[in-house]
Amino acid sequence: MKNKIIGLILMLISINVYAQQDAQFTQYMYNTININPAYAGSRGVMSIFALHRSQWLGLDGAPETNTVSIHTPINNSNVGLGLSLVNDKIGPTNENAFSVDLSYSIKTSDDYKLSFGIKGTADLFNLDPTKLDIEYQDDPKFQNFDNKFRPNVGAGIYWHSDKLYLGLSVPNFIESDRYTDKTKDSDVAIYTEKINYYFIGGYVFDLSPNLQFKPAFLTKIVEGAPLQVDLSGNFLFSEKFNLGVAYRWSAAFSATAGFQINDGLYIGYGYDNETTNLRKYNSGSHEIFLRFELFRNNGRITTPRFF
Backbone φ, ψ for residue 5 (5° rounding): -65, -45
Q: Which residues pair with 99 in a beta bridge?
A: 84, 121
| 21 in any annotated domain | no
| 147 in any annotated domain | yes
CATH number assigned to the domain comprising residue 173: 2.40.160.40
List, run by run, the mean pLDDT of 10-residue segments along the chain (307 residues): 46 45 86 96 93 92 94 92 95 91 96 97 84 64 67 97 95 79 53 86 95 96 88 94 94 95 93 89 93 69 53
| 299 in any annotated domain | no
| 118 in any annotated domain | yes
| 219 in any annotated domain | yes
- The per-residue DSSP string of 7-19 comes to HHHHHHHHHHTGG
| 75 in any annotated domain | yes
pLDDT reported for residue 184: 54
- Cα separation, 153 vs 173, whole angstroms: 6
pLDDT reported for residue 303: 45
Buried b (16+ CB within 10 A) or exposed e, 83-120: ebbbbbbbbbbbbbbebebbbbbeeeeeeebbbebbbe
pLDDT reported for residue 8: 47
How many domains, the chain?
1
| 25 in any annotated domain | no
Residue-range definition of the domain harbouring residue 277: 1-12+33-294
| 271 in any annotated domain | yes
The answer to whether the pTM exceeds 0.95 is: no
